[in-house]
Amino acid sequence: MYESFYKLTGKPFQLSPDPRFFFGSRGHKRAMSYLRYGLSQGEGFIVITGGIGTGKTTLVRALFEDLAKENIVAAQLVTTHLEPEDTLRMVAASFGLAHEGAPKAAVLKNLEIFLLARAREGKRILLVVDEAQNLPRESLEELRMLANFQVAGRALLQSFLLGQEEFRDTLQADGLEQVRQRVIAAYHLEPLDAEETRKYIEHRLGYVGWREDPKFDEAAYQQIFDFTQGVPRKINTFCDRLMLFSYLEELHEIGAAQVREVGGELQEETPVYSESGVEPDEPPPASTKQVGVSQNYESEQLSALETRLGLMEERIDSLERAFRRQLETARR
């Protein structure tokens, strides 16, 4: 909706991972280096961990874009809580192999035949396991056993394990010593710092033809960082809403006031933004219900609700006006 108003060629802050928007922060460059180091070794596990929304999947998608130019067959497995045999079937499915209803021995044989055939073609096989923190220990053991497929002393399959922070604890659990011995490199992705947050925003905007319209002032960038804590997915959600807000208000400059207003809306709608440490303009009522709430308090609550409804009605009116403007533009 706001793309045409600001003369952008696309949506800059979409939530779905898109390698075209990959931003090489210090942490993401380091993580990419670890992934490439792992590829050069051609065996074992490379482990990349990070909090929700820190860009692990986008990192791998960017790597896949590069792998298209190399002699590597790669597949990605997004796990849920898979039992060991289901894990093997999902690995087979990721490479397009028969798996439904097949016993474990048949699935393993199909995988072995596939790996040997690709090796004879001079190709290397890479399995990327996303959301690895969901895998039971037994399933991790099954992945380790797949790493035992070799020919002439060379591993036929290499795996990247991507997981949230708790996956680091999983790997330290008793009984996973042999899995740990297969890990040849590990890296933990941290959120962006304040300066990287600014560069990340400008990087994504620049990719779709942004010419500083709207223009963000210094305080706006800092406020965005305060609300999002540098988590890329949160930045995308926040900035998408901020751009929509600015479009509806027909703004060409964004300052701290606009960021705070959007932040207040998101704090009401989405609890995750209430964890940012940025206080809303008016503190919310206490979450603990008390017996004997005064009539004055109830009146204040009712008044606040009426004010909020009024704001929502104003926003709906703004949307209607914007929609009418788009229709008029289309008719021309």
What is the CATH T-level fold of the domain 26-189, as seen in this structure? Rossmann fold (3.40.50)
High-pLDDT (> 70) share of the chain, %: 81
pLDDT for res 293:
34
Lowest mean pLDDT among 56-65, 226-235, 271-280: 271-280
Q: For the residues 294-309, what does the mean pLDDT come to?
A: 45
Rounded to an integer, what distance in angstroms lies between the CA atom of residue 237 and that of residue 221?
15
pLDDT (mean) for 257-261: 94
| In the predicted structure, residue 279 carries a pLDDT above the cut 70 | no
Q: Which residues partner with 216 through β-bridges? A: 254
The mean pLDDT of 83-91, rounded to a whole number, is 86
In this prediction the pTM is 0.76
pLDDT for 288 equals 33
- Mean pLDDT lowest for which of 67-71, 83-87, 155-159, 237-241? 67-71
Give the confidence band of 290 by pLDDT, cuts at 50, 70, 90: very low
Tell me what percent of the residues of the chain surpass a pLDDT of 90. 48
CB 238 within 8 A of CB 33: no
Helix axes 218-228, 256-269, angle to 10 degrees: 20
Return d(Cα 320, Cα 35) in angstroms, integer.
Answer: 48
Among 33-42, 135-144, 214-223, 314-323, which is the least confidently predicted range? 314-323
More confident residue, 81 or 272: 81
Average pLDDT, integer, range 74-90: 83
Average pLDDT, the chain: 83
CB 137 within 8 A of CB 129: no
Mean pLDDT value of segment 217-242: 95
First to last CA, the chain: 17
Q: Cβ contacts of residue 310 below 8 Å, gap of 6+?
A: none
